[in-house]
Structure 1
Amino acid sequence: MNLNEASQENLKFLLEQLSERLGVANRALFDDEDYDLERYDHLKFLYDHVVQTGKLSPQETAAFVDELRSVRKGS
């Protein structure tokens, strides 16, 4: 899987991984149907940051969730 390539499959993978790493209870925020592939690069950037950082503080997690909300369709 080449995550540098924007595809629906990769988008779904990124969102699933973000959901697990952020430990968010509301999984509805991570439904790949709610995101446009046009915003894939932004989501990939967030994913890369979370992977590199490892464990996030509660404040960082809240900031990431807010950022994800802003990238969703209709936002």
Structure 2
Amino acid sequence: MDLSTPTPENVTYMIEQIKEKLRMVNVDALKAENFNTSQYEDLHYMYNMVMKRETITPNEMQAIVAELGSLRN
């Protein structure tokens, strides 16, 4: 998938992949429709960072979710 283009489909894909990687229990906290392409670069950076990690500590997960929350509309 080409994530270099800021499209709503790419935003949805990245949010879904992040939720899966973080094994989020409350998946409604990060709904893809709450994000748009205006924050695409930041979201893409977060996606790449999360996907590169083998393990994520609870503190890191909390920080990631907080940062994603700040990117929402």
Give the TM-score, by structure 2 length: 0.93
Alignment correspondent of 2:32? 32
Gaps of 5+ in 2: none
How many residues get paired? 73
Task: Name the Cα RMSD after superposition.
Answer: 0.9
Measure, in 2, the Cα distance between the counterparts of 1:54 and 1:8.
27
Q: Which residue of 2 aligns with 1:58?
A: 58
Separation in structure 2 between the aligned mates of residue 8 and residue 62 of structure 1, nearest angstrom: 25
Determine if the alignment matches structure 1 residue 3 to structure 2 residue 3. yes
Paired residue type of 1:56:
I
Alignment map for 1:6-25 (pairs within 5 Å):
6-25=6-25
